[in-house]
């Protein structure tokens, strides 16, 4: 039996870099499938082999009030559901990826059309309160998310540590672990740790759940002890203006480079400038940014949330923050930078990524998932 797949994601903002994660997934799935449909929005259409077909829905990226964004989200659900009705009959598995878990109408249509379905867990819909605010809309999202888990034939978690915090224990019989995957050929060490200046950095979305404000507020405390330190912040998001104003009011503009959003393939340059990457998140799934940095031989200091404990062993291949309070971030950064074994930790970080998070490893895990779901005739 031919294996024909459909990958569904929400329309992803062009500047957020999430398309890169979908592209990585497609690279993993491509050798396992005869044909792949991608239902999304803002997705590049001319960069894949002929076996991958892109179906984009129209999506307005202009900034809008929260209630308008909520309405738009439900309209997206209807558009995606219409695409599900138009899928070729021989598609035999639909994968719901970034932002697509609550697309329950599309999921129901896929089930009515007798398609096997997979929900790939990258976080919780409860985080919608960071985007839409309040509690009513997030509660709706959480309910839809639970219904999606109940409908799915498989719930794929990228990390074992995500199962308990995301409330997936009740779906244990249908859970499979995919691990994480990214282009290890792109993220490589270009400069040894000893050659780098005293730069501490943050890479990621500038939003509250990422703990970026805590990091910025910790900078003056770090500079009181280590005036030679400099800081790099790479990313964009709703907090950018607030961070810019904070850096001016704290008179830190000469000590902090606020780079903004950059293409993913340019990140390797910044990772190779850092002595330490800080990931102070309140919520996280698999910490892709941390893994990219580790592949570049950059030590990582991160809060133990989501899949972080599956990637970082404190003091061996990275460092764990006890919490992401301002004082804790400042104290721990100083302690880590003064460790004589920092170079050894950086080397162990690279080895752990190289050995456990390759495309080959991820492809074999998905092959096993499909072999267990799709019965050959």
What is the C-alpha to C-alpha distance for residues 155 and 239, in angstroms, rounded to an integer?
Answer: 33
Q: Which tokens belong to 226? A: 């280590």
| Percentage of the chain exceeding pLDDT 70 | 90
Q: Is 156 left (phi over 0), alpha (psi -120 to 50) or beta?
A: beta
pLDDT exceeds 90 at position 244: yes
- Each residue's pLDDT tens digit, 27-42: 899 999 999 999 998 8
> Residue 206 — very low, low, confident or very high, per pLDDT cuts 50/70/90?
very high
Q: Give, in order, the Cα–Cα distances in Å from 352 to each of 90, 279, 326.
A: 40, 18, 29
Q: What is the pLDDT of residue 159?
A: 81
Q: How far apart are CA 63 and CA 48, in angstroms?
A: 30
Q: Is 333 helix (H, G, I), strand (E, B) or coil?
A: helix
Q: Is 132 a residue whose pLDDT tops 60?
A: no
What mean pLDDT do residues 173-198 have?
87
Is the pLDDT reported for residue 77 higher than 60?
Answer: yes
Flag whether pLDDT at 16 surpasses 70.
no
| Average pLDDT estimate for 134-145 | 74
pLDDT of residue 283: 82
Tell me the backbone φ, ψ of residue 256, rounded to 5 degrees. -125, 125
Q: Is the pLDDT of residue 142 over 90?
A: no
Write down the pLDDT at residue 360: 83
Q: For residue 135, what pLDDT band results from cuts at 50, 70 and 90?
A: low
Task: Indicate whether 147 pLDDT > 70.
Answer: yes
φ and ψ of 268, to 5 deg: -55, -35
- Domains delineated in the chain: 4-181+358-373 (3.40.50.2000), 193-356 (3.40.50.2000)
What pLDDT does residue 88 have?
94
Q: How confident is the model at residue 64 (pLDDT cuts 50, 70, 90)?
A: low
The residue with tokens 């907090």 is 239
pLDDT of residue 2: 84
Model confidence over 284-332: pLDDT tens digits? 777 889 999 999 999 999 999 888 998 999 999 999 999 999 999 999 9
Residue 226 is predicted with a pLDDT of: 96
Q: How confident is the model at residue 339 (pLDDT cuts 50, 70, 90)?
A: very high
Task: Give 350's pLDDT tier (boundaries 50, 70, 90).
Answer: very high
Is 275 in contact with 299 (CB distance < 8 Å)?
yes
Give 251-269 pLDDT, tens digit per residue.
999 999 999 988 888 999 9
- Mean of per-residue pLDDT scores for the chain: 88
d(Cα 352, Cα 344) in Å, to the nearest integer?
12
Cα 298 from chain centroid? 19
- How many residues are given for the chain? 377
- Beta pairing partners, 119: 96, 155
Q: Does 55 or 127 have the greater pLDDT score?
A: 55
Does 56 have pLDDT greater than 70?
yes
Please give the residue that has the higher pLDDT: either 126 or 44.
44
**What is the mean predicted confidence (pLDDT) over 102-125?**
90
89, 85, 101: which is closest to 8 by C-alpha?
A: 101
Reported as a single tens digit per residue, the pLDDT across 157-182 is 888 888 887 788 899 899 998 877 76
Q: What's the pLDDT score for residue 125?
A: 57
| Sign of the CA dihedral with 14 first, then 17, 23, and 25 last | negative
């Amino acid at each position: 039996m031919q294996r024909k797949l459909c990958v569904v994601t929400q329309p992803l903002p062009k500047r957020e870099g999430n398309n890169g994660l979908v592209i990585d997934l497609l690279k993993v799935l491509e050798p396992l499938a005869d044909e792949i449909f991608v239902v999304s929005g803002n997705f590049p259409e001319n960069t894949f082999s002929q076996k991958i077909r892109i179906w984009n829905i129209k999506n307005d990226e202009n900034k809008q009030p929260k209630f308008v964004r909520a309405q738009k989200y439900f309209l997206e659900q209807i558009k995606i559901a219409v695409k599900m009705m138009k899928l070729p009959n021989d598609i035999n598995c639909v994968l719901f990826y970034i932002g697509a878990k609550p697309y329950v109408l599309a999921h129901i249509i896929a089930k009515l059309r007798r398609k096997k379905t997979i929900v790939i867990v990258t976080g919780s819909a409860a985080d919608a309160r960071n985007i839409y605010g309040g509690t009513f809309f997030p509660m709706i999202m959480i309910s839809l998310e639970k219904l999606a888990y109940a409908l799915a034939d498989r719930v794929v978690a990228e990390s074992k540590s995500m199962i308990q915090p995301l409330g997936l224990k009740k779906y244990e019989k249908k859970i499979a672990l995919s691990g994480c995957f990214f282009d290890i050929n792109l993220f490589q060490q270009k400069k040894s740790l000893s050659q780098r200046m005293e730069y501490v950095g943050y890479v990621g979305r500038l939003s509250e759940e990422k703990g970026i404000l805590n990091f910025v507020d910790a900078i003056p405390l770090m500079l009181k002890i280590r005036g030679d330190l400099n800081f790099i912040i790479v990313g964009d998001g709703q907090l950018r203006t607030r961070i810019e104003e904070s850096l001016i009011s704290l008179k830190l503009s000469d000590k902090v480079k606020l780079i903004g959003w950059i293409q993913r393939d340019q990140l390797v340059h910044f990772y190779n400038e850092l002595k330490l990457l800080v990931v102070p998140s309140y919520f996280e799934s698999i910490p892709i940014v941390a893994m990219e940095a580790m592949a570049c031989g950059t030590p990582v200091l991160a809060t133990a949330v989501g899949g972080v404990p599956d990637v970082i062993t404190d003091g061996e291949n990275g460092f764990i923050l006890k919490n992401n309070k301002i004082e804790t971030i400042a104290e721990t950064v100083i302690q880590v930078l003064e460790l004589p074994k920092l170079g050894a930790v950086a080397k162990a970080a690279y080895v752990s990524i190289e050995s456990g998070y390759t495309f080959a490893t991820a492809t074999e895990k998905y092959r096993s998932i499909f072999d267990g779901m799709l019965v050959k005739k």
